[in-house]
Chain A
Amino acid sequence: DAGVIQSPRHEVTEMGQEVTLRCKPISGHNSLFWYRQTMMRGLELLIYFNNNVPIDDSGMPEDRFSAKMPNASFSTLKIQPSEPRDSAVYFCASSYYRAAYEQYFGPGTRLTVT
C-alpha cells in the first residue's frame, strides 16, 4: 500500500507568491491532519479534517493560510501571500477514524520563502 503522498517535496518561492501544498491520504483513512515543523516551534497542528469536514482550524496561523479537502483522497494547504516566516516543513498525516489510532505521516514538503 502506498503511504501518505505529498507534493511537492521541496518548494522555493519568493515572498508574496501563492503556495499550494498537496496531500493524498492513505485509502480508507478518514481523518487528515496538516502539521508544520520548525526548529523554533517544533511540530504544530494546523488543521484537521474528519470525513472531509474541517473540525478544528485553530492552529492555522492567520488568514493567509487556508486548507481544503474536496474529497476523501485529496487535500490542499494554501498560503497566500507567502512570507519568509512561513518557511518550514509541512507534514500531512492521516489516520483511521480518530486521532486515537496511529497517524501515518507523509514525507513532508520543505517550503522555503525568500
Chain B
Amino acid sequence: QQPVQSPQAVILREGEDAVINCSSSKALYSVHWYRQKHGEAPVFLMILLKGGEQKGHEKISASFNEKKQQSSLYLTASQLSYSGTYFCGTEATSGTYKYIFGTGTRLKVLA
C-alpha cells in the first residue's frame, strides 16, 4: 500500500521552513527521500534506517519514527532550488529491496 504524504502541495517564500510527512500503514525498515524537478529524474536526498535516527543534508534533514511508521523531511531556510516534488520511498523489510514510493509533495519556493 502506497505511503501517504502530507501536505500534497506547499508554497513557500525563500527563507521559510517546511515539513513534509510520510505515513505508512505497514511497519517500516527504512525510508528514502528523493526530490524530482519537473521533467527530470528523482534525485536521492537521504536514507533513514530503523532506529529513529535523524539525518541532515545541507539545510534539509529528516527523522524516522518506526513505531509510528512515519518519517518527516524538514526544509530549513528554503531556497529557490528546493522547488520540486518530494517523494518518500519505504521498505517494509530489510532485504526485500522493494521500495514503495509515496504520493508525493509538490513544493514551490518563491523569491
Contact = CB atoms under 8 A, between A and B. Distances in A.
Contacts of B98: 45, 48, 56, 99
Given A42-B2, A42-B104, A99-B91, A56 B41 contact: no
A107 B41 CA distance: 5
A101 B46 CA distance: 9
A55 B99 CA distance: 13
Interface of A is mostly: strand
A40 to B, nearest CB: 11
Interface of A: 31, 33, 42-45, 48, 50, 55-56, 91, 98-108
Given A45-B99, A98-B95, A103-B44, 13 more contacts: A33-B99, A42-B2, A42-B102, A43-B87, A45-B98, A48-B98, A56-B96, A99-B91, A100-B30, A102-B32, A103-B32, A103-B99, A107-B40
